[in-house]
Amino acid sequence: MLSKCFNPACAAPFHSLREGTLFRLEPDGTFPSPTAEPQYFWLCKRCDAAMTLTLKEDGVVEVLPGVPPYAHGVLRDMPLDFNRRKGLLLRTVSFWPRPTHTANDPY
């Protein structure tokens, strides 16, 4: 259950999926995984603007400064940002409706 922002330096409580970014860690099927159930992590809107989550080489989720680059020209809340390590997949979770603008939109 999500209760607060995953950033250890932040105590923002989780209230809604509309605020911030949700990440899902799940087995990717390439290796046997000790974790069969997906795990969820959340960055509040303030932290999400300045940092992201990534998988370390050992498969541990960590907070890093900066935001991931746009993937295929769409905003990062599309389910295209991901890290894969040691049979685990960490990706952002997107909910419909998708944003109306993309990173390549001139407007």
User: Which position has the higher pLDDT, 83 or 43?
Assistant: 43
- The pLDDT value given to residue 18: 80
pTM: 0.72
Q: In whole angstroms, what is the distance from residue 80 CA to residue 22 CA?
A: 13
CA distances from 14 to 22, 52, 89 (A): 11, 17, 23
Residues 54-63 pLDDT 10s: 888 888 899 9
Give the pLDDT of residue 81. 54
Look at strands 82-85 and 51-55 and give their pairing: unpaired
**Are 40 and 24 within 8 A, CB to CB?**
yes
Query: Which residues touch 27 (CB under 8 Å, ≥6 apart)?
Result: 33, 35, 36, 87, 88, 89
Q: Which residue is associated with the tokens 């932290």? A: 47
